[in-house]
């Protein structure tokens, strides 16, 4: 009960609900104003020096950030350090296992960050992701979604490619998850790279589950890389600067923006993210959408 009381107090100083992801098309901001950075992109740099890496984040021309942990800081401090550098923390990745172990502790941290979105980036599983793995995840998502909603936070899952049945199933595990969780305060974050790599069409998925997507991860696949099935990994060398690979970004982002999606987080997992992130930002800012 003490934990929930603290959440109530923190909520009083949480950031405004006037985020970019609104549905008022006549007030749609530019794509440049909707860009963000998933901080996992600088994981190696944060491991060496948190403050100097936060300074690097502050130098990027994006308004929003999405966290992946708080790099040893308490959430309130982390949010303040980012705010001092002109970045608004609007979304947080939270771990499935942590939610199973202690949901209230995760909720406390998320509320302290002042975010509007809490996103699971991965469902732990051994070997292939199975029907049983999916069914158990669906049960938990349906429990957690309403709990986050009570605190004004939209709860989402971030498909990673393994949910699409390698693009070979007529009804994929993702389809089953999306349909089973409809109406239970469960949303989705599209990582366009993993959707394509998993054998799906991101534009078709945006349209099929319109209203369920809260944000996009912008990550590129190099030209010539075979997609349409799930391999063990996509090498860092094949995760390239946005706009230099094989994904049709104007089509994907244009569709998302037309639906009212207004958060586009660059996630760079390539060989040199500090070098490549500004190049991806420049490409996205150049798009006339």
- With bands split at pLDDT 50, 70 and 90, how would you rate the model's confidence at 168? low
Above 60 in pLDDT, residue 50?
yes
pLDDT digits (tens, 9 = 90+) for 56-69: 999 999 999 999 99
Q: Alpha-carbon distance 137 to 130, whole Å?
A: 11
Q: What pTM was computed for the model? A: 0.90
Average pLDDT over residues 134-152: 98
Mean pLDDT for the chain overall = 90
Using alpha carbons only, give the angle 196, 286, 53 rounded to the nearest 5 degrees: 75
Q: Which is it for the CA torsion 151, 186, 248, 242, positive or negative? A: positive
Give the percent of the chain with pLDDT over 90: 82
Torsion of CA 61, 64, 69, 71, to 10 degrees: 40
User: Measured between alpha carbons, how far is 271 from 230 in angstroms, rounded to an integer?
Assistant: 21
**Predicted local distance difference test score (pLDDT) of residue 5:** 44
Right CATH for 27-286 from 3.30.70.140, 3.40.50.1220, 3.20.20.150, 3.20.20.70? 3.20.20.150
Mean pLDDT within 269-274: 96
pLDDT band per the 50, 70, 90 thresholds, residue 169: low
Mean pLDDT score, 96-118:
98
Residue range 218-271, pLDDT digits in tens: 999 999 999 886 555 899 999 999 999 999 999 999 999 999 999 999 999 999
* Distance of alpha carbon 171 from alpha carbon 200, whole angstroms: 12
* Residue in 130, 51, 140, 131 with CA at minimum distance from that of residue 94: 140
Mean pLDDT computed over 40-54: 97
For the chain, the helix, strand and coil percentages under 3-state DSSP, each to the nearest 5: 45, 15, 40
Q: In the prediction, which pLDDT does 147 show?
A: 98
Here the contacts of 28-33 (C-beta below 8 Å, separation 24 or greater) are 28/257, 28/262, 29/262, 31/253, 31/257, 31/264, 31/284, 31/285, 31/287, 31/289, 32/61, 32/284, 32/285, 33/63
Percent of the chain with pLDDT strictly greater than 70: 88
- The pLDDT tens digits of the residues spanning 195-227 come to 999 889 999 999 999 999 999 999 999 999 998
Summarize the confidence of residues 146-153 as an average pLDDT.
Answer: 98
Q: What is the pLDDT of residue 12?
A: 43
Mean pLDDT of 12-17: 41
CA 272, CA 269: separation in Å to the nearest integer? 8
């Amino acid at each position: 009960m003490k934990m929930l009381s603290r959440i109530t107090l923190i909520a009083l100083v949480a950031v405004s609900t006037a985020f970019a992801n609104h549905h008022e098309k006549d007030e749609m901001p530019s794509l440049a104003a909707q860009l963000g950075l998933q901080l996992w992109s600088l994981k190696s740099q944060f491991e060496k020096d948190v403050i100097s890496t936060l300074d690097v984040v502050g130098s990027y021309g994006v308004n929003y950030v999405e966290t992946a942990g708080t790099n040893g800081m308490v959430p309130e401090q982390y949010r303040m350090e980012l705010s001092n550098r002109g970045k608004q923390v609007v979304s947080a990745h939270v771990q499935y296992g942590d939610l199973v172990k202690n949901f209230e502790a995760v909720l406390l941290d998320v509320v302290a960050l002042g975010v509007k979105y809490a996103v699971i980036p991965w469902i732990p599983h051994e070997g292939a992701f199975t029907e049983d793995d999916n069914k158990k995840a669906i049960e938990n998502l349906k429990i957690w979604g309403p709990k986050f909603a009570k605190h004004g936070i939209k709860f989402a899952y971030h498909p990673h490619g393994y949910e699409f049945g390698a693009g070979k199933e007529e009804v994929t595990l993702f389809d089953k998850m999306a349909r089973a969780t409809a109406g239970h305060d469960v949303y989705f974050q599209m990582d366009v790279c993993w959707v394509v790599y998993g054998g799906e069409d991101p534009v078709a998925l945006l349209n099929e589950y319109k209203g369920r997507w809260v944000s996009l991860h912008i990550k590129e696949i190099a030209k010539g890389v075979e997609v349409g099935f799930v391999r063990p990994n996509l090498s860092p060398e094949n995760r390239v600067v946005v706009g230099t690979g094989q994904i049709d970004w104007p089509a994907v982002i244009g569709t998302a923006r037309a639906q009212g999606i207004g958060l586009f987080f660059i996630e760079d997992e390539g060989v040199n993210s500090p070098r490549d992130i500004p190049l991806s930002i420049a490409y996205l800012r150049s798009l006339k959408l």
